[in-house]
Structure 1
Amino acid sequence: MSDAPSLGVVRDATRDARRRRDLQVVVTGACILGMTSILYDLSGVSPATGAFFRCLYALIPLVIVVLVQRRRPQAHQTPGRWVTKAVVAGVFLGIDLLLWHEAIHSIGAGLSTVLLNLQVVFVAVLGYVVLRQRITRALLTSMPLLFVGVALVAGMSTSLTGANPTVGASFAIIAAGAYAVYIFMMGLATRAAGRTGLPMLVSTAATGVTAGLFGVVTGTLDLAPPLAAQGWLILLALVSQVVGWLLVASASQRLPAGNIAASLVLQSASALLFGAVLLCQIPSIVQILGAVLILAGVVVATRQPVAKLPTRVVGRRMEIKA
């Protein structure tokens, strides 16, 4: 009987340690995803072409990941439970990629980036409605930090230069909703599958098909981009679609959807660092301040309340049970 509280403390400590590791994994993946916009810009291709080829070139590495994970005895397959979820996730990621780039042309990269990060709100609502995941006070407190930080990083001085800025803003908000559905559905798919490789492979194929069909219908799909562009797209596929999203997906099996969404806002901050290193784009003081606010917002959103240790009363003193 006297050992029961101690065992509970050990279980809590183990759970907290696992949670910290998962948060480190998803933060690493989010920071890697910060390279996405830079590599896409360097490729110089249309949104449909970029989305299609980043998925196409990611399929072979993802097949290798699937084969490696298949050898693990703890992995299990329940296709009926996760395939549909992965396909839906991939379709919505394709919608997100296409609409976000269209929004950039209408309202600029700054405001588009800010509106896209409404995904934090949408994911939290989805988690509450579908999974009854509580919207924590920490997540609500972090949102002003996250949105102000993103606004400073993106540069809110960007003017609405498009022919129809209302449509552009609508595209960005719909893209944020689509991105939220992708994050949420991938979490469901990886939990149901018990692994990350297969759901990522299926969702990536669905994203590629969605982007390809859009490109064919609109005439914006280039099936033979220049070799230099293909080089950047291959790097984009490996860095973003394979490494970055596999890390995020592996953590999403256990973390609440709201924590995943808040951590992904780090993409905006890490893009500053990669831009400075790879493109010599030195960030301004305001942008650096925005990155600090984003980091603070993620820390606030993902913090775990300190568990209270069981106690016992000895005479008039309160002692912690060890």
Structure 2
Amino acid sequence: MNLYLNSKSASLGLIVGCVLFGLGSIIVSTVSLGAYAVAFWRLIIASAIFYTIVKYFNKSLPTNKKAKFYAALSGFFLAYDLALWHESIYAIGPGISTLLNSLQIFWLSFIGCVLYNEKQGALGILSLILATLGVALIAYPELNSNTNAIWGFIAGIGSGGCLAISMLFVKKSQEAQKISIFSLMFILSISGAISLLPVSIIIDSLNFFPKNFKELGLVFIYGAIMQCVAWGLIAYCVPLLSLSLTGLLLLSEPVAALLIDAFLLDKFITKFQWPGAAITMFAIYLGSIKNKKQRLKGRKNG
């Protein structure tokens, strides 16, 4: 019973984290900073906040070398997930870029099958097919109306690959040693910021710093809420769920981004994109059923 409640709470927490994560796209599309620069500031602000929390609550950093290494690797790939996602936002807008980022579902499912022997089964395969169809219906119209779509799609798909690898290393870090979520997030954020600093200075030298107090405030919110709260929730919930279910639940982020585009940014949503969102949510529901059945079967066999 406790396993079910923990998994159910983790699923809800992951969805909340994804929605908050998607809301950050509004900030990215508003500020004048470069894609790599805004990713750096997000991570360095978050690392300062997490360091303060770690010290205040006297949380210990991991002692296991593998755990520290995997946490740092997760931060590296998260940094470039963010940078490429920002590039995609600038090219094709928040909604579609977040949809492309969500293609990490395929990477997560593949990793789950290869490394963790997670069997998909008929229901799992159906949910993946429906998720693919839903994302395709939402994303396809953009190719016909935006000259920047090709680069936006490349960056968006690349960000999804980096996100999937970051998710994997979060899980492997916690497998090597159970780490306090605040300690994990500090290592993840500071390692990501360090890896981005030289690149962002070179690429975004002309728009590295916020131009005014408004942008400074928005960047701080981006680092404090979207990284500390949203990514913290995601990092906490991922180890409690299978990688396949994680990938499906993360699709709640692009659905939220689509709603943001439609109702907050006044983007026209075509007759194909709304059904695509509905199909995607149904795929998430099927993935939840599959995961619950696997848990019940595991208990019976045990």
Q: TM-score range by the shorter chain?
A: 0.7 to 0.9
1:41 matched to 2:29? yes
Q: Which among 82, 87, 104 is matched to residue 119 of structure 1?
A: 104
1:173 matched to 2:160? no
Structure-1 separation of matches of 2:63 and 2:125: 35
Contact 1:76 / 1:193 at 8 angstroms: preserved in 2? no
Paired-residue identity, %: 22
Q: Which among 25, 28, 42 is matched to residue 54 of structure 1?
A: 42
Contact 1:153 / 1:291 at 8 angstroms: preserved in 2? yes
Structure-2 separation of matches of 1:272 and 1:169: 16
Structure-2 separation of matches of 1:275 and 1:105: 14
Contact 2:46 / 2:227 at 8 angstroms: preserved in 1? yes
Q: How does 1:68-147 map to 2 (within 5 A)?
A: 70=58, 77-103=62-88, 112-147=97-132
Deviation at 1:77, TM superposition (A): 3.8
1:268 matched to 2:218? no
1:293 matched to 2:279? yes
Q: Which among 3, 13, 18 is matched to residue 25 of structure 1?
A: 13
Question: Which residue number in structure 1 is paired with residue 202 of structure 2?
Answer: 217
- Higher normalized helix content (fraction of residues): 2
Question: Which residue number in structure 1 is paired with residue 235 of structure 2?
Answer: 249
1:196 matched to 2:181? yes
TM-score (structure 2 length as normaliser): 0.83
Contact 2:21 / 2:226 at 8 angstroms: preserved in 1? yes
Structure-2 separation of matches of 1:300 and 1:206: 36
List runs of 5+ in structure 1 lacking aligned partners.
1-12, 311-322
Deviation at 1:37, TM superposition (A): 1.0
Comparing 193-202 and 218-227, the one that deviates more: 218-227
Letter matched to residue 161 of structure 2: G
1:242 to 1:127, Cα distance in 2 relative to 1, 3 A: same
1:240 matched to 2:226? yes
TM-score (structure 1 length as normaliser): 0.78
Deviation at 1:234, TM superposition (A): 1.1
Deviation at 1:216, TM superposition (A): 2.1
Which protein shows a greater Rg? Answer: 1
Size of the aligned set, in residue pairs, is: 293
1:264 to 1:70, Cα distance in 2 relative to 1, 3 A: farther
1:245 to 1:152, Cα distance in 2 relative to 1, 3 A: same
1:69 to 1:249, Cα distance in 2 relative to 1, 3 A: farther
1:64 to 1:150, Cα distance in 2 relative to 1, 3 A: farther
Structure-1 separation of matches of 2:95 and 2:260: 17
Question: Which residue number in structure 1 is paired with residue 168 of structure 2?
Answer: 184
Question: Which residue number in structure 2 is paired with residue 207 of structure 1?
Answer: 192
1:32 to 1:106, Cα distance in 2 relative to 1, 3 A: closer
Structure-2 separation of matches of 1:84 and 1:102: 27
Contact 2:15 / 2:253 at 8 angstroms: preserved in 1? no
Root-mean-square deviation over aligned CA pairs = 3.1
1:108 to 1:133, Cα distance in 2 relative to 1, 3 A: same
| 3-state DSSP of counterpart to 2:207 | coil
Deviation at 1:85, TM superposition (A): 0.6
Deviation at 1:288, TM superposition (A): 3.8
1:63 matched to 2:51? yes
Deviation at 1:221, TM superposition (A): 6.2
Contact 1:59 / 1:201 at 8 angstroms: preserved in 2? yes
For each residue in 1:219-269, what CA deviation from the matched residue of structure 2 results, as whole angstroms up to 9, or x when unmatched? 446343122212111111122101011111111122112211221111111
Deviation at 1:103, TM superposition (A): 4.7
